Amino acid sequence: MIIKSINLTNFRNHKTYHLVCNNDTTLILGENGCGKTSVLEAIYILTRGKSFRATDPDILKRGEDFYRIEIEYKSGEKITATYDQKNKTFTTLDKKSRRLPKKNRYPVVLFLPSDLNLVSGSPSRHREYFDRIFSDFNEEYSVVLSRYEKALKQRNELLKNENISFASLFSWNLLLAKYGTKLYNLRKEFTTEINKDFNGVYHSIAENDDFVELSYNTEAKDITEAKYLKILEENFKRDLMVEHTTFGVHRDDFIFMFNNCEANGSASRGETRSIILALKFIEAAIIYKKSNKKPIVLLDDVFSELDEARRKCLVRNFKDHQVIITSVEKI
C-alpha cells in the first residue's frame, strides 16, 4: 500500500494540515516544533492503530474538542480516525469501529532519534521496544502480552492486601503461567530470527567482521507452564512481603552483544549506530517475509544523527519502500 495523502485537523499543533506523498520518498522539512513528528504519529495511528508516544487527550490540539486524521492510499482506499474527547472512531467506506480494523492495518518501520540510544537503555525500555516490534511480527504476540499484563496487574493488586490467601491467587497464577510461557517462547523465537541475519546485515553496514548478537535474558529459560506455576506458588510468601510478583517474563531483558561483550560499554558510538541500523533493516525484512507487505518506513529526524556512509546505506536499503522522512535541514 502506498500513501497518497494525509489530512489532519486539530492534531497536536496543526489546525489543518495536508500532505501529498510521493511513491518513493517524501521529505517533511521544517523547524523545531513545527509539527513534523506529529505527522508521522498520525500516519502511525492510521496504520498501526495507536500512537507511538502518547494518548488521545495529549494529541488533541489544546482548546479544541475533536481531532480528525485521514489517509488516502493510492488504491483509492480511505481511512479516517476521529477523537471527540470521549471516543475514538475509525471510519472506512463500509464501517465504523473503535479499533483500527485488521484489514486496514499496514506494517510500518519507525525510526526515532531515541532508538539510537536503545543499546544503552534500561530493561524496561528494551522490553517496550521489542514488544512493539514483535507485535508487528505477529498479531498473536500483542494479544498474549496484553493478557499477561492484565493478569500481572490483578495479581499485584491482590498482593497488596496482607490478608490474601494462597488459594485466591490460583486463577491469576494459572493465567500468568499460560501467557508467560507463551511470551517466553515467542520472544525466544523472534530473537533467534533476528540473530539469523544480524551479523550479515551489520557487516554490510560496518564493513568489518565484529560479531553482533541480540541476547534474550530471562529467568524463565526453558520454562514450561507447569514449572512456571510451581515457581509462582513457591514465591507466594516472598511476593506477599514485597507486594508484587517477583518471578516472570515482565522482568526479561534484551541485551545487544558486541564481540561477546555487552555492546553498552564496549561498542563505539558509530558501531552502536550501525547496530541499530542493522536492526531496522532486519525488522523490515522480517515483516516483509511474514506479511508479504513492504512496510512503510517513517524516519523521524535520524539523518542528522548519521554520517554520510550510513545515510547512503539507509537510502539504499529502503529503496523499494515508501519512505517518509522528517528533517530540520535539507538533506
Ligand X SMILES: Nc1ncnc2c1ncn2[C@@H]1O[C@H](COP(=O)(O)OP(=O)(O)OP(=O)(O)O)[C@@H](O)[C@H]1O
Q: Of 34-42, 240-248, 255-263, 304-312, which segment contacts Mg ion by CB under 5 A?
A: 34-42
Terminal CA-CA length for the chain: 26
Interior angle at CA 185, CA 183 and CA 191, nearest 5:
95
HSE-CB at 142 with a 13 A cutoff on CA atoms is: 11
Choose the contact partner of 13 out of ligand X, Mg ion, none; CB within 5 to 8 A by kind: ligand X
Find the shortest distance in angstroms from Cβ 141 to ligand X.
28
The least distance separating ligand X from the CB of residue 235, rounded to whole angstroms, comes to: 43
Chain-centroid distance of CA 259 in Å reads 26
Distance of CA 67 to the CA centre of its chain: 24
Phi, psi at residue 105, to the nearest 5°? -75, 140
Choice between 83 and 184, CB closer to ligand X: 83
CB nearer to Mg ion: give 37 or 47.
Answer: 37
Q: How far apart are the C-alpha atoms of 158 and 153, rounded to whole Å?
A: 9
At closest approach, how far in Å is the CB of 72 from ligand X? Answer: 21
* 35 contact choice in ligand X, Mg ion, none (CB below 5 to 8 Å, kind-dependent): ligand X
Q: How far is the CB of 86 from ligand X (least distance, A)?
A: 17
Q: In 3D, which of 286, 264, 318 has the Cα closest to residue 193? A: 286
- Specify the residue, 58 or 84, whose C-beta has the smaller distance to ligand X: 58
Give DSSP secondary structure letters for 46-66.
HHHSS-SS--HHHHBPTT-S-
- The one among 7, 10, 37, 218 contacting Mg ion by CB under 5 A: 37
Nearer to ligand X, 38 or 245 (CB): 38
Nearer to ligand X, 35 or 123 (CB): 35
Binding site for ligand X (CB under 6 A): 12-13, 30, 32-38, 58-62, 301, 328
Q: How many residues bind Mg ion (CB under 5 A)?
A: 1
Residue with Cβ nearer ligand X (32 or 122): 32
Minimum CB separation of residue 109 from ligand X in Å reads: 18
Tell the smallest beta-carbon distance from residue 13 to ligand X (Å).
3
Nearer to Mg ion, 33 or 76 (CB): 33
- Closest separation in Å from C-beta 309 to ligand X: 24
Place of cell 507466594: 236
Q: Verify binding: residue 38, Mg ion, rule CB under 5 A.
A: no
| 3: partner contacted, choices ligand X, Mg ion, none (Cβ within 5-8 A by kind) | none
Using the minimum distance from each CB to ligand X, give the nearer residue, 61 or 178: 61
3-state secondary structure 165-217: CCHHHHHHHHHHHHHHHHHHHHHHHHHHHHHHHHHHHHHHHHCCCCCEEEEEE
For residues 300 and 43, is the Cβ–Cβ distance under 8 A?
A: no
Beta bridge partners of residue 82, listed in sequence order: 68, 89
Q: Minimum CB separation from ligand X for residue 85, in Å?
A: 12
User: Closest CB to ligand X among 67 and 202?
Assistant: 67
Specify which residues 16 forms β-bridges with.
Answer: 9
The β-bridge partners of 8 are 17, 69
**What is the spatial distance between Cα 115 and Cα 314, in angstroms, rounded to a whole number?**
15
Least distance (Å) from ligand X to the CB of residue 19? 13
Residues 170-199 that bind Mg ion (CB under 5 A): none
Sheet holding 261-262, edge to edge: 212-217, 253-258, 261-262
- Of 36-44, 51-59, 234-242, 285-293: span binding Mg ion (CB under 5 A): 36-44
Interface residue list for Mg ion (CB under 5 A): 37
